Amino acid sequence: MSGQKIVVLGTGGTIAGTSAQAGDNIGYTAAQVGVARLLEAVPGLQAMAGTLLAEQVAQIDSKDMDGEVWRALALRCAHHLTDPEVRGIVITHGTDTLEETAWFLHQVLDARKPVVLTCAMRPATALTPDGPQNLLDAVAVATAPGATGVLTVAAGEVHGARHVQKVHPYRVHAFTSGDVGPLAFVEEGAVRLTQNWPPSLDGKAQIAIEKIANIATWPRVEIVVSHAGATGAVVDVLVRDGVQGLVVACTGNGTIHHALEAALVRAQAAGVKVVRSTRCPLGQVLPKPGDVLADSRGLSPVKARIALMLDLLR
Ligand code: ASP
């Protein structure tokens, strides 16, 4: 049985962004307002003030997310998740790499309690900011009966870490889980589930977090794209530069321009781990007998990169 406390970890993003002009939705600076002030700005959360604990883990534009912030965030989450007083965690985050942080945390946390990432497409100073409602909805999800796993909440939709993707650079409704659809909707504070809560990774995840606490440098994994006129030049340079893993954003069902593929096969023979994902926004690479390069098992290129980094750590 867990307690009632909800920990809200701030990392920055547009949800904490401000602009000099109230009507400006794009010319703003992300990561300006502290997480405690974001909470104060949501009238619906004032009654819960005694149960909300705000903590600033970082204050960045999430386009600049990196392994060090991920490490700090994962360790704070792991710390709070083991506290019997804590019911769940909410993380305020930029939209740009939200899906990557969600997938990273899903891989390293024993999230038997909900870990809910939320964000905004409009800065806090916009005429109609979306952050306050998203924050309110994220707290509703973190307190929903039975909620587990790493989740994202935005525009009234709840998505699981595995499938969520940002698909629009401007619209408030910017996230989708593609073919799989949202896990739930938040409507006037009520959470309406359309699928089961995602299971947590428990034992396997624990190993990863211990390693993360102690590593000096993250394995270097880069993403390359197959396209018309592709060559192997980038791959050859990366191999010379000591890359340990390569994810290929392939065309269609994992196909690669022949010149790029030849370089990738050479890289694999030299000991670099190579994984194929697809640059198609929906669906996944379906493996075939005789495939020379592994596939990402349904992960998008950016999530396949994180999975490969963690595999290299193991
Ligand atoms: N660049 C911002 C960020 O990801 C965008 C946003 O939050 O919507 O931090």
User: Counting atoms of ligand 1 from 1, which one is nearest the CA of 60?
Assistant: 9
The CA 291 to ligand 1 mean position distance, Å, reads 37
| Residue 14 CA, closest ligand 1 atom number | 7
CA of 130 to the centre of ligand 1 (A): 13
Work out the number of other CB atoms within 10 angstroms of the CB of residue 299: 22
Pocket test for ligand 1, best of 35, 62, 69 (most atoms within 8 A of CB): 62
Question: Model's pTM, two decimal places?
Answer: 0.97
Fold match flag (5-193 vs 219-313): yes
What separation in Å is there between the alpha carbon of 13 and the centre of ligand 1?
Answer: 5
d(CA 79, CA 87): 13
Buried b (16+ CB within 10 A) or exposed e, 230-266: bebeebeebbeeebbbbbbbbbeebebbeebbebbbe
For the annotated catalytic residues, the residue numbers are: 14
96 lines ligand 1 (CB under 6 A): yes
Strand (E) or helix (H) holding 12: strand 5-12
Is there an atom of ligand 1 within 6 Å of 119 CB? Answer: yes
Hey, which CATH number is domain 219-313, 3.40.1160.10, 2.60.40.10, 3.30.530.20, 3.40.50.40? 3.40.50.40
Distance from residue 30's CA to the centre of ligand 1 (Å): 6
Q: Which CATH fold topology does 5-193 show?
A: Rossmann fold (3.40.50)
**pLDDT score of 266:** 98
Each residue's pLDDT, cut to its tens digit, for the chain (314 residues) gives 468 999 999 999 999 999 999 889 999 999 999 999 999 999 999 999 899 999 999 999 999 999 999 999 999 999 999 999 999 999 999 999 999 999 999 999 999 999 999 999 999 999 999 999 999 999 999 999 999 999 999 999 999 999 999 999 999 999 999 999 999 999 999 999 999 999 877 777 778 888 899 988 999 999 999 999 999 999 999 999 999 999 999 999 999 999 999 999 999 999 999 999 999 999 999 999 999 999 999 999 999 999 999 999 98
Centre of ligand 1 from the C-alpha of residue 89, in Å: 20
Ligand 1 atom 3, closest CA: 94
61 in ligand 1 pocket by Cβ < 6 Å?
yes
Answer whether 10 contacts ligand 1 (Cβ < 6 A): no
Pocket of ligand 1 contains residue 14 by CB under 6 Å: yes
**What is the amino acid identity at position 173?**
H
63 lines ligand 1 (CB under 6 A): yes
Task: Find out whether the beta carbon of 227 lies less than 6 Å from any atom of ligand 1.
Answer: no
Q: Is 138 close to ligand 1, i.e. is its CB under 6 Å away?
A: no
Q: What is the pLDDT of residue 206?
A: 79
HSE-CB of 236 using CA atoms within 13 angstroms = 8
133 CA to centre of ligand 1 in angstroms: 17
CA 12 to ligand 1: nearest atom: 9
Going from N- to C-terminal start, the domains of the chain cover 5-193, 219-313
Residue among 101, 110, 116, 135 nearest 33 (CA): 135
Q: Please tell me the predicted confidence (pLDDT) of residue 207.
A: 82
Is the CB of residue 149 less than 8 Å from the CB of residue 160?
A: yes
